[in-house]
């Protein structure tokens, strides 16, 4: 029964993309499919969150009705706005009509990959530490607690101030699953692990050759650390997905200047803020750099150059408003970043010693055999021709990575409540994990883009 929820989520995402993106922009099939699923899961979670805010409890009936009304509304908009028939919105007949032997083999291969991910995930069916201690535990509070807001009064070890997109996705799926919460969390982890790889394939195929897209996605989906963390039932895989989705749709927006694509990019940026606290920082940097690039480097009047950033902001506000409400009215403050009195804090690592610790630990981590030399490969791709990374659309993403790495460095050097080595051990591998799909994308895209001259 959980497949029904995934289909509903896909349908909501697909119809939203059909409503926003112009028919003139041809999205590659696997890209549209993965974006539809990721967007649909996020929107379903936000709808469920809204039902909790309004009715202050979990209600399977209310959530189901909300999804039906959403699908009906999106169908109405698509049919009337674009004057489409159902066959035009869902071109299933033409899709099967044009299928060939190569497509059949690709479907078999993707099926085999899903099965392999399932076998890997089955080794830890309840996920790793943060899964059952944070995300899955909070899912149970949403579903079974008399007061779901007790989540915000739990021990600080449970990170009560963390955004709740993943638990709300689980709660949404549970409404249709008729299975235990553990089965729902397990199935969603497998789906997200595969979808992120499919998104990388679709993103690369949108701009490069099929062979390049296959190699890039194969490198990701066969990496032991990626497979381990993507099936750990953490929110990191959501963050990895929405970061790559945001980058891909932003590049399409920069190339086409399409208002609908700009809104779609904003939706993904806003969803990213509700995955983890890091998503807020990633969103702000990426949004700021994109707007700055459009305003500074596009032709036309200053007013016309503000059009695309305005649509980007509309999309961002539509989904980020839930994060804002969550942070202002529900989530307790996080004491781990700065103490109440910053002026009295002892910045023990804000010096050359701290910088040395960070650099040495980072070099040790990227050389870890579990990564199978994937980070050295990305670094070699950059060293071979760094100019490619700072031309046209890739320059926004490259500057984004530089800015975010500098922010991370500052955060590590200003560590005050923990030992720096322990903090690096606990967080660095997961940071590299959620940056990995986007780093692979920008590396392959910069070198093998179809319109490069």
Q: Please, are residues 23 and 146 in contact by the beta-carbon 8 Å criterion?
A: no
pLDDT tier, 107 (very low <50, low <70, confident <90, very high otherwise) = confident
Count up the domains in the chain and report the number: 1
Return the axis-axis angle of helices 420-448 and 210-221, rounded to nearest 10°. 160
Residue-wise pLDDT for 403-433, tens only, equals 999 999 999 999 887 899 999 999 999 999 9
Query: What's 451's DSSP letter?
Result: T
Residue-wise pLDDT for 126-185, tens only, equals 999 999 999 999 999 999 999 999 999 988 888 899 999 999 999 999 999 877 899 999
What dihedral angle (degrees, nearest 10) is formed by the CA atoms of 356, 277, 400, 426? Answer: 30
Mean residue pLDDT across the chain: 91
Which residues are within 8 A (CB) of 424 and not within 5 positions of it... i.e. 6 or more apart? 357, 358, 361, 362, 365, 412
* Torsion sign, CA atoms 360, 363, 365, 370: negative
Q: Is residue 343 part of a domain?
A: no
Residue-wise pLDDT for 278-300, tens only, equals 999 999 999 999 999 999 888 77
Q: Is residue 342 part of a domain?
A: no
Q: Is residue 453 part of a domain?
A: no
Q: Which domain holds residue 14?
A: 2-334+348-448
Residue 92: CB atoms within 10 Å: 10
Query: What's 403's DSSP letter?
Result: H
Determine the Cα–Cα distance for residues 446 and 453; give it in Å rounded to an integer. 11
Assess whether pLDDT exceeds 60 at residue 92: no
Residue 372: CB atoms within 10 Å: 15
Residue 422: CB atoms within 10 Å: 10
Determine the Cα–Cα distance for residues 144 and 137; give it in Å rounded to an integer. 11
């Amino acid at each position: 029964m959980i497949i029904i929820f995934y289909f509903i989520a896909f349908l909501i995402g697909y119809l939203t993309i059909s409503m926003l993106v112009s028919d003139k922009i041809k999205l590659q099939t696997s890209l549209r499919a993965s974006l539809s699923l990721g967007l649909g899961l996020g929107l379903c979670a936000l709808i469920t969150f809204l039902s909790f805010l309004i009715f202050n409890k979990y209600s399977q009936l209310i959530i189901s009705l909300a999804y039906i009304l959403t699908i009906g509304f999106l169908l109405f908009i698509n049919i009337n706005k674009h004057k489409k028939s159902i066959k035009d919105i869902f071109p299933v007949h033409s899709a099967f009509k044009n299928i060939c032997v190569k497509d059949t083999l690709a479907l078999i291969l993707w099926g085999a990959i899903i099965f392999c991910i399932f076998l890997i995930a089955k080794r830890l069916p309840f996920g790793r530490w943060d899964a059952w201690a944070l995300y899955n535990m909070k899912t149970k509070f949403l579903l079974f607690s008399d007061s779901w807001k007790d989540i915000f009064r739990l021990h600080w070890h449970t990170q009560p101030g963390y955004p709740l997109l993943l638990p709300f996705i689980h709660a949404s799926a549970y409404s249709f699953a008729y299975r235990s919460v553990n089965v729902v969390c397990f199935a969603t982890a497998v789906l997200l692990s595969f979808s992120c790889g499919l998104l990388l394939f679709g993103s690369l195929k949108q701009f490069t050759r099929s062979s390049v897209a296959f190699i890039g996605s194969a490198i990701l989906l066969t990496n032991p650390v990626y497979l381990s963390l993507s099936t750990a039932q953490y929110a990191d895989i959501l963050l990895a997905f929405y970061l790559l989705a945001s980058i891909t749709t932003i590049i399409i927006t920069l190339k086409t200047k399409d208002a609908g694509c700009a809104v779609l990019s904003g939706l993904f940026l806003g969803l990213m803020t509700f995955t983890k606290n890091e998503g807020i920082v990633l969103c702000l940097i990426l949004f700021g750099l994109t707007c700055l690039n459009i305003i500074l480097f596009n032709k036309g009047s200053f007013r016309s150059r503000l059009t695309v950033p305005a649509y980007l902001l509309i999309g961002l506000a539509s989904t980020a408003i839930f994060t804002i409400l969550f942070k202002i009215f529900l989530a307790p403050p996080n004491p781990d970043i700065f103490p109440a009195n910053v002026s009295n804090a002892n910045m023990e690592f804000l010096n050359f010693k701290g910088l040395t610790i960070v650099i040495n630990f980072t070099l040790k981590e990227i050389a870890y055999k579990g990564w199978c030399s994937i980070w050295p490969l990305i670094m070699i791709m950059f060293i071979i021709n760094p100019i490619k990374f700072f031309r046209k659309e890739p320059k926004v993403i490259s500057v984004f990575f530089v800015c975010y790495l500098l922010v991370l460095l500052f955060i590590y050097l200003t560590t005050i409540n923990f030992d720096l080595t322990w903090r690096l051990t606990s967080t660095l591998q997961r940071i590299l994990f959620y940056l990995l799909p986007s780093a692979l994308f920008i590396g392959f895209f910069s070198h093998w883009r179809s319109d490069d001259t």
